[in-house]
Structure 1
Amino acid sequence: MLWVKAFHIIAVITWFAGIFYLPRLYVYHAMADDQASRERFKIMERKLYRGIMWPAMMVVIALGLWLISFNPDYYLKSGWMHAKLTLVALLVGYHLYCGKLNRQFKDDQNSHSHVWFRWFNEVPVFILIGVVILVVVRPF
């Protein structure tokens, strides 16, 4: 079980690294004023989203389910776990929305400013804080 937990944490860190970095790329992409830069950002965004974030998210979910399977009676009756899984679902939604933004940038259809992306980049910080507190403190 500890090996599963260790790899789950590694996958979470990897996923969050991508979730924090991709919107930062969007900030710079939205500010780019030359075609070469925009094309470079498209490649970076695609590789980060498809090559790192998607696999990390899938590993997080798979290992998280595996961890729950070790003691489903406890985890599925715990309020903190329900709250945590709700936050994870929100993070998956954020991840998928990043994919939509990726497609908009790819098609040169972005309609958001770099300032909007700076605020958008802060959303997962609050999810991370909530998840860590729920897992460590288990307040309910």
Structure 2
Amino acid sequence: MDYNHIKAIHIIFVVSWFAGLFYLPRLFVYHTEANTKPELERDIIQEQFKKMEKVLFNAIMVPAMWLTLISGATLVYWSWWDSFAQHGWLHLKLSFVVGLLIYHFLCRKIIFELREGKFRFTSFQLRLYNEVATIFLFAIVFLVILKNTIDWIWGVVGLLVFAVLIMTAVKIAKSLREKRK
């Protein structure tokens, strides 16, 4: 295997990991919203979400995370190790990866809380939480492509503005739906 093979493997597992990071918080939203259902329906739905969350996390996200980290470390070792100190963008990218790991394990914590019937967050808060992985993705991709520690800021700022607009639109649509009822 050469550098390009490892790079391809790294990209594949980054995509797999992010797929889980995007979908799991959405399951949290639905799991939380099931509380508004009648008891029998709620219990059945929440049991299904518990199972889906566990399988997604353990069977997809954890292996994808480890394979992402291992292949990424291999890429750093093979290509940039000698000049690692000269790549400020890479240091910043690795900082975002640490943030992504924290986000990953916070998701795990939420899984355990939901299993125990603890609903700390509203569905709206979980919808906002769901956007955190997107912000990490934007920041990391801009850093990797532009290899610049400044330009990623504009990508993230644009994403934050877009997220605020989307969330505002969601709130307006929700209030209009509620008024019609």
Please tell me the TM-score bracket, short chain as reference: over 0.9
Aligned partner of 1:24 among 23, 26, 45: 26
Q: Greater share of helix residues, 1 or 2? A: 2
* 1:35 lines up with 2:43 in the alignment: yes
- Structure 1 residue ranges (4+ consecutive) displaced by more than 4 angstroms after TM superposition: none
Q: Does 2:59 align with 1:57? A: no
Query: Which residue of structure 1 aligns with residue 135 of structure 2?
Result: 126
**Hey, what does 2:100 align to over in structure 1?**
91
Q: Secondary structure at the match of 1:100?
A: helix
| Root-mean-square deviation (Å) | 0.9
SS in 2 for 1:84: helix
Secondary structure of 1:110's aligned partner? coil
Unaligned runs of 5+ in 1: none
Q: Distance in 1 between matches of 2:101 and 2:60?
A: 14
Say how many residue pairs are matched.
140
Percent same amino acid at aligned positions? 38
Cα distance in 2, alignment partners of residues 136 and 113 from structure 1: 36
> Which residue of the other structure, out of 59, 65, 76, is the alignment partner of 1:68?
76
3-state DSSP of counterpart to 1:92? helix
Residues 18-37 of structure 1 show CA distances to partners (whole Å, capped at 9, x for unaligned) of: 00000000000000131000
Q: For the residues of structure 2 that align with 1:51 and 1:75, how far apart are their CA atoms?
A: 33
**Which deviations, in whole Å up to 9, do the C-alpha atoms of 1:11-51 show, x marking residues without a partner?**
00000000000000000000013100000000000000111
Which sections of structure 2, spanning at least 5 residues, go unmatched?
A: 150-181
Return the letter of the residue paired with 2:72: G
- TM-score, scaled to structure 1: 0.97
